[in-house]
Each structure stands twice: as structure tokens, then as C-alpha cells.
Amino acid sequence: MDPTLQIVILSVLGPVIGSAIGVARQPSLWFMYNMLAFAAGVMLGISFLSLIPQAVHLSSPATCVAGILLGSLVMYGLDRLIPHIHPELCEQEQGANLKKTATYLLFGIFLHNFPEGMAIGMGNVSGSRQSFLIAMAIAIHNIPQGICTSAPYYHVTGRRLKAFLVSSTTMFPILGGYLVSRYVHPRVTDGTNGLLIAATAGLMIYISADELIPTSSFKLTNHSTIFSLIGGVVFVVILGLA
């Protein structure tokens, strides 16, 4: 199969799988939190071991720093405008407010997924393997989000298929961001590409620090998520050496 097609398929799998789980049966919190910690390890490993060195090589240390700040500020701005609902809060609101909560979740995740799609596309500058790893980490990260959107929507409407389909639409901004970044980066200078790659790293570092790591340690005290995070970093190193 063409590597680009593999990346596109993997990019949209997270919301679809999560949406299916949300209208079927929710997995254990232990599994979800360790999965998020592993995704954080992959994101941090790619950012520090690949994307940041590549950005410095294509541009300069100063441009790289500017890109990291740009990516993190974009995600911070989205969080301020449309606060991101973390997986541990999926069932915080009940009763009459649940439909509003489900719609709010869907809208917020929809907006957050576009820059994540761009991050997947920018990984192609460092090679299809890096793009594949980024797509995998974001797909894992988006599975709990799919659960968080489809489960309350299904609970309110009682319509399993509709809840699955509505929640699965959050894959479209990922695909849109991917296609936009694939179109943009061949048409700009190395310096600009360096800035965008560094911004991708900043985006993923922000997601890991703001969402994945705090969420993965929520309620778990057995330190398993620490080793899952380390496992994600090791996974990146192993694939990078293969």
C-alpha cells in the first residue's frame, strides 16, 4: 500500500475507532490512561529526537525557538477560545445539560483536530516514517476523544448509528489539516519549513504536557503510565534506528 494512503487512513482511524467504542462498550480506565501515556511518549520522542533537530537544520536555532512557541501558542489559544474537554471529564455533566455538553465536546474537538492534521502532514518533511509515527500517536490520542463525543450523544438521542456518524465527523478536520500542510510545505522555503516543523513540535509538546500526561496519571497510582510513556519514547528510538 502507498505510504501516503497508509498515513491518511491511520490519521482518521482515531476518531472512528473511538466513536465506535463510545456507542458499544467503554474500555477500562487503566487501558485508556496507559494508551494516552504511550501516545505522549511517542509525541515527545518525535518532537525532541526528530522534528526539532530537523527544524534547526533547515532554518536556525532562533527560527526553531520561534516555531516551538508558535505551535504551543496556537494550541493555547484554541484552549482559551474553545476549552478542550479531557477524557476524565467525559461524564462530568449529567441530565438536562448532557446534550449541550455533547455538542460542545464535538465542536471543541473539531477545531482542535485541524492543527493536529497539519502536524501529520508536516512530518513528511522529515520522511514518511516520521509522518506515520505522528499519525499513529495522534490516532491513539483521538480514540478517547471519540469515546467522549459519541457516548454522551448516544446517551441523549438513543440512536447508536447517528451518534457514531456524528462523532466520526471529527476526522474531517484532521484530514483537511493534513492535505493543507502537504500542499503548503513543498511551496515554501527551507526556513519557513523549519518554522512549521518546529511549530509541529511545539504543538505536540503542548498536547503532551497539557492533556496527555496529566490525564494519563488521573486516578492511577501504580506508576504504569510512567513506563507506558517511556515505552512510547523507546518505540520512536527503535523505529528511528531500524
pLDDT tens readout for residues 107-130: 767 777 888 888 887 766 656 677
Question: What pLDDT was estimated at residue 43?
Answer: 87
Q: How many CB atoms lie within 10 A of CB 165?
A: 15
Q: What percent of the chain has pLDDT over 90?
A: 16
Weakest mean pLDDT among 1-10, 34-43, 152-161, 165-174: 1-10
E strands in the chain: none
Question: What pLDDT was estimated at residue 136?
Answer: 84
Per the listing, cell 536555532 goes with 61
Please answer whether residues 193 and 54 qualify as being in contact, where contact means their C-beta atoms are separated by less than 8 angstroms.
Answer: no
- pTM of the complete model: 0.74
Query: Cα(222)–Cα(204) distance, rounded to whole angstroms?
Result: 26
Q: Give the mean model confidence (pLDDT) for residues 208-224.
A: 77
Query: Cα(17)–Cα(10) distance, rounded to whole angstroms?
Result: 11
- Confidence bin at 93 (pLDDT 50/70/90): very low
